[in-house]
Structure 1
Amino acid sequence: MADHPAFELVPGRPGVPLLLVCDHASNAVPAALGGTLGLPREDMERHIAFDVGARGLTLELAELLGATAILSTTSRLVIDPNRGEDDPTLVMKLYDGSIIPGNRAVDEAEVARRLAAYHRPYHDAITAHLDAMIARGEAPQILSIHSYTPQLRGRAPRPWHVGVLWDEDARIARPLIDRLMREPDLCVGDNEPYSGQLRGDCMFTHGTQRGIAHALIELRNDLISDAAGETAWARRLAPILAETCGLTEGVTHG
Structure 2
Amino acid sequence: MSASWALLITCEHGGNAVPQEYAPLFADWGDILASHCGYDLGALGTAQALARATGAPLVAATTTRLVVDLNRSVGHARLFSAVTKALPGTTRQALLAEHYQPHREAVARLVSQALAAGKTVLHIASHSFTPHFGGVTRHCDVGLLYDPGRAAEKIFCGRWLRELACLDSDLILRRNYPYRGVADGLATALRRRFGEGYLGVELEVNQRFALGGGEALASVSEHLADALRRALGRVAACR
TM range (shorter): 0.7 to 0.9
The 3-state SS of whatever aligns with 1:171 is helix
Please tell me whether the aligned partners of residues 145 and 204 of structure 2 are also in contact (alpha carbons under 8 angstroms).
yes
Deviation at 1:16, TM superposition (A): 7.3
The 3-state SS of whatever aligns with 2:152 is coil
Q: Percent identity?
A: 25
Partner of 1:236: 223
**Residues 35, 65 of structure 1: alpha-carbon distance in 2 compared, 3 angstrom cutoff:** farther
The 3-state SS of whatever aligns with 1:145 is strand
2 CA distance for matches of 1:26 and 1:15? 33
Please tell me whether the aligned partners of residues 25 and 71 of structure 1 are also in contact (alpha carbons under 8 angstroms).
yes
Please tell me whether the aligned partners of residues 142 and 207 of structure 1 are also in contact (alpha carbons under 8 angstroms).
no
Work out which of the residue numbers 21, 26, 32 in structure 2 matches 1:43. 32
Q: Deviations over 1:113-142 (max 9, x none)?
A: 111111011111011111222233332210
Work out which of the residue numbers 189, 194, 197 in structure 2 matches 1:205. 189
Please tell me whether the aligned partners of residues 37 and 103 of structure 1 are also in contact (alpha carbons under 8 angstroms).
no
- The one-letter amino acid paired with 1:207 is R
1 CA distance for matches of 2:24 and 2:146? 34
2 CA distance for matches of 1:218 and 1:144? 9
The runs of 4+ residues in structure 1 deviating greater than 4 Å are: none
Partner of 1:96: none
Partner of 2:202: 216
**Residues 145, 109 of structure 1: alpha-carbon distance in 2 compared, 3 angstrom cutoff:** same
Deviation at 1:178, TM superposition (A): 5.6
Partner of 1:134: 115
Work out which of the residue numbers 107, 110, 115 in structure 1 matches 2:96. 115
Output the aligned Cα RMSD.
2.3
Deviation at 1:105, TM superposition (A): 2.6
Please tell me whether the aligned partners of residues 203 and 215 of structure 1 are also in contact (alpha carbons under 8 angstroms).
yes
Deviation at 1:189, TM superposition (A): 2.0
- The one-letter amino acid paired with 1:50 is Y
Q: Deviations over 1:135-175 (max 9, x none)?
A: 333322100110000012x4211010011111232423444
What is the aligned residue count? 226
**Residues 45, 52 of structure 1: alpha-carbon distance in 2 compared, 3 angstrom cutoff:** same
TM-score under structure 2 normalisation? 0.85
Partner of 1:98: none
The 3-state SS of whatever aligns with 1:230 is helix
Question: Any stretches of 5+ residues in structure 2 without a counterpart?
Answer: none
Partner of 1:67: 56
Partner of 2:137: 157
- The one-letter amino acid paired with 1:210 is F
- The one-letter amino acid paired with 1:215 is V
